[in-house]
């Protein structure tokens, strides 16, 4: 087995380049899902011995619990990109009950600058060697990768000093729960310190696409925490925010800052990945690029974009059948078909949504998005308590998962528990004000305030939601019914007209099909309002 460092492995017409993390065939880059490529590198690097299934899971899945079928799927995908299969086993051989071994004839060429030497050089010298772009990801693709650096202290030292390491450590721990990101461990990323750290150099050293940096500065009795998300390919700022609070309350402020940062990154990184993917030829889209583009279309909530999202998720699943997030996205598109009655059999759409959501959970039992989608299916079936249980599981896996918090609030509202539900809805908006479902969070607060009997405030939320980007016919109908309850007939008529222009068949029955209220006083109030509006 070769020693540490970066190598190019040559076999048949292929080149496996560990420095650039890519596979090439006859000099042309081959799109490969990152986990499959990691598996292939592990096997080739150990071509002189058998790699056990336990070692494979430890190295490729970071020791997480995975099924036999998940391992088999990745082996099958690795063989497929090499033109191999389970019958030939020309390059990857299965030793039943033991593991796998790469059996091709391999030539090895050592790279001049390895990731380790790059990291050492950056920390011990002012010189900047000629290095490859961050992980070979200058054009996007693969699971988004992220390094969080220790924050820089500005101004006078004091009791806030400890937060410079503690807050980014919190971020690393909580971001690692989002399976949509690969986060560099603290032991590695915390070796970069100081005011002169360049995100581009961090990207080169770790092969990551994104870098989070921050500063902590004392300002009299207050403390100011600044956080920046940078693209390591060019050092550009993707997002930045400042938080200010009293020095004496810094320990209470710390978890609030972490929650806000994580919720924003969970939205902004996929949006940036979708932007990058749009600039790539369709033939070069890997599973992750297809998934991110699918998300972008999915959240637009119209029939054409939902159809396009479904196609992109299917494309991702063709490359990786056990891609939990893509299974969840495909479930979401079926849910949307049933929720907004885009055509076809709503019951069949709901059933397909449920099947795919369950498959996502089986593929990755620690994925909060998978549990979230199961919860949505129970909501659509009217099984509200089961739905709430699944949202509780999603948020227990990732407490900062704003969409999980929001859906728990919405279902709590239609179940009749408006007080707790409204707290959840307010928290979801606080966590993720830029969320693509922010309009729905606001609209759900309108329904909660209907239960409180505060129709003026309900109408305020309802109309605000209907004016937000992404609002669909149900959001406009909620604006109409809350305006009606508040006594504003003109505004109610205007919003009802907009909702009906999108769906002339809109009725109280279709509304309650999507929002299966428990038999409470709140349902009676909504039913009466819809009837008075002529629905």
Q: What DSSP assignment string belongs to 287-351?
A: HHHHHHHHHHHHTT-SHHHHHHHHHHHHHHHHH-TT-HHHHHHHHHHHHHHHHTT-SS-HHHHHH
Task: Select from 242, 257, 272 the last residue of a domain.
Answer: 257
Judge if 351 and 492 occupy the same domain: yes
Q: What is the pLDDT of residues 296-307, one digit of tens each?
A: 999 999 999 999
Strands 145-148 and 210-219, bridge-based pairing: parallel
CATH assignment at residue 389: 1.25.40.10
Query: Range with the lowest mean pLDDT among 253-267, 319-333, 455-469, 506-520?
Result: 253-267
Q: What is the pLDDT of residues 189-219, one digit of tens each?
A: 888 877 678 888 888 888 889 999 999 888 7
Q: What are the two backbone dihedrals, phi and then psi, of residue 137, each rounded to the nearest 5 degrees?
A: -105, 30
First to last CA, the chain: 73
* Alpha-carbon gap, residue 198 to 386, rounded angstroms: 48
The yes-or-no verdict on residue 118 having pLDDT over 90 is: no
Burial degree of 53 (CB within 10 A; 0-12, 13-18, 19+): middle
Judge if 363 and 456 occupy the same domain: yes
Judge if 225 and 337 occupy the same domain: no
More confident residue, 293 or 112: 293
Judge if 171 and 104 occupy the same domain: no
Burial degree of 280 (CB within 10 A; 0-12, 13-18, 19+): middle
More confident residue, 286 or 20: 286
Judge if 382 and 474 occupy the same domain: yes
Domain hosting residue 366, numbered range: 327-532
* Alpha-carbon gap, residue 370 to 220, rounded angstroms: 46
Average pLDDT, the chain: 86
Judge if 125 and 84 occupy the same domain: no
| 370 found inside a domain | yes
| 402 found inside a domain | yes
**Average of per-residue pLDDT across 81-110:** 86
Task: Select from 257, 283, 310 the last residue of a domain.
Answer: 257
Judge if 357 and 458 occupy the same domain: yes
| 320 found inside a domain | no
Judge if 249 and 143 occupy the same domain: yes
User: Tell me, what's the pLDDT at 352?
Assistant: 95
CATH assignment at residue 228: 3.40.50.10070
3-state secondary structure of 147: strand
For residue 363, what is the enclosing H or E element? helix 346-363
User: Tell me, what's the pLDDT at 160?
Assistant: 66
* Alpha-carbon gap, residue 27 to 428, rounded angstroms: 48
Query: Range with the lowest mean pLDDT among 47-61, 345-359, 405-419?
Result: 47-61
Q: How confident is the model at residue 117 (pLDDT cuts 50, 70, 90)?
A: very low
| 280 found inside a domain | no
Judge if 493 and 456 occupy the same domain: yes
User: Tell me, what's the pLDDT at 175?
Assistant: 87
User: Tell me, what's the pLDDT at 448?
Assistant: 96
**Number of domains into which the chain is organized:** 3
**Average of per-residue pLDDT across 218-226:** 84
* Alpha-carbon gap, residue 467 to 322, rounded angstroms: 38
Judge if 38 and 157 occupy the same domain: no
CATH assignment at residue 44: 1.10.10.10
Residue with tokens 């990731």: 115
Judge if 83 and 131 occupy the same domain: no
The answer to whether 266 and 249 have CB atoms below 8 angstroms apart is: no
* Cα dihedral sign, 337-306-264-368: positive
Q: Which residues pair with 213 in a beta bridge?
A: 228
Judge if 353 and 377 occupy the same domain: yes
The answer to whether 106 and 10 have CB atoms below 8 angstroms apart is: yes
**Average of per-residue pLDDT across 400-421:** 93
* Alpha-carbon gap, residue 367 to 183, rounded angstroms: 15
**Average of per-residue pLDDT across 477-491:** 96
Residue with tokens 């759900």: 444
CA separation, residue 2 to residues 12, 18, 369 (Å): 19, 12, 39
pTM exceeds cut of 0.75: no
Q: Say what angle helices 438-452 and 455-466 make with each other, to 10 degrees.
A: 160
Task: Select from 82, 110, 138 the last residue of a domain.
Answer: 110
Q: What is the pLDDT of residues 236-277, one digit of tens each?
A: 999 999 998 887 777 778 888 898 899 889 999 999 999 888
| 12 found inside a domain | yes
């Amino acid at each position: 087995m070769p020693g540490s460092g970066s190598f190019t492995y040559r076999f048949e017409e292929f080149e496996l380049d560990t420095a650039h993390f890519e596979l090439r065939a006859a000099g042309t880059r081959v799109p490969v899902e990152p986990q499959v490529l990691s598996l292939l590198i592990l096997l080739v690097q150990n071509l002189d011995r058998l790699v056990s299934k336990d070692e494979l899971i430890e190295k490729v899945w970071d020791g997480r619990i995975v099924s036999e079928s998940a391992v088999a799927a990745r082996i099958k995908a690795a063989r497929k990109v090499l033109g191999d299969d389970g019958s030939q086993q020309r390059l990857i051989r299965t030793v039943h009950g033991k593991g796998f071994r790469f059996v091709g004839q391999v030539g090895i060429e050592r790279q001049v600058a390895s990731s380790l030497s790059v990291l050492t050089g950056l920390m011990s010298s002012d010189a900047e060697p000629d290095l490859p772009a961050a992980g070979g990801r200058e054009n996007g693709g693969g699971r988004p990768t992220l390094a969080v650096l220790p924050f820089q202290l500005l101004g006078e030292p004091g009791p806030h000093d400890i937060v410079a390491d503690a807050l980014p450590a919190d971020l690393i721990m909580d971001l690692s729960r989002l399976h949509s990101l690969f986060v560099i461990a603290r032991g590695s990323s915390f070796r970069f310190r100081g005011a002169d750290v360049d995100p581009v150099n961090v990207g080169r050293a770790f092969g990551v696409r994104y870098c989070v940096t921050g500063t902590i500065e004392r300002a009299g009795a207050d403390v100011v925490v600044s956080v920046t998300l940078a693209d390591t390919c060019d050092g550009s700022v993707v997002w930045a925010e400042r938080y200010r609070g009293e020095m004496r309350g810094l320990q209470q402020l710390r978890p609030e800052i972490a929650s806000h940062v994580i919720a924003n990154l969970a939205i902004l990184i996929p949006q940036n990945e979708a932007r990058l993917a749009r600039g790539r030829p369709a033939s070069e889209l890997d599973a992750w690029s297809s998934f991110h583009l699918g998300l972008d279309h999915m959240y637009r909530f119209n029939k054409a974009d939902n159809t396009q999202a479904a196609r992109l998720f299917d494309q991702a699943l063709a490359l990786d059948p056990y891609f939990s997030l893509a299974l969840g996205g495909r479930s979401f598109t079926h849910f949307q078909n049933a929720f907004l009655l885009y055509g076809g059999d709503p019951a069949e759409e709901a059933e397909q949504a449920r099947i795919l959501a369950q498959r996502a959970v089986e593929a990755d039992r620690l994925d909060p998005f998978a549990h979230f989608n199961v919860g949505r299916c129970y909501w659509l079936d009217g099984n509200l308590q089961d739905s709430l249980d699944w949202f509780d599981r999603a948020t227990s896996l990732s407490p900062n998962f704003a969409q999980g918090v929001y859906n728990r609030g919405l279902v709590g509202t239609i179940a009749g528990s408006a007080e707790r539900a409204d707290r959840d809805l307010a928290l979801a908006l606080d966590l993720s004000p830029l969320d693509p479902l922010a309009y729905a969070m606001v609209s759900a607060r309108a329904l909660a305030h209907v239960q409180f009997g505060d129709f003026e405030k309900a109408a305020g939320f309802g109309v605000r939601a209907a004016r937000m980007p992404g609002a669909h016919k149900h959001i406009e109908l909620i604006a109409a019914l809350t305006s009606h309850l508040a006594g504003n007939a003109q505004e109610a008529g205007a919003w009802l007209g907009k909702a009906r222009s999108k769906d002339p068949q809109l009725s109280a029955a279709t509304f309650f099909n999507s929002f299966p209220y428990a038999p409470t006083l709140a349902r009676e109030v909504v039913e009466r309002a819809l009837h008075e509006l002529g629905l």
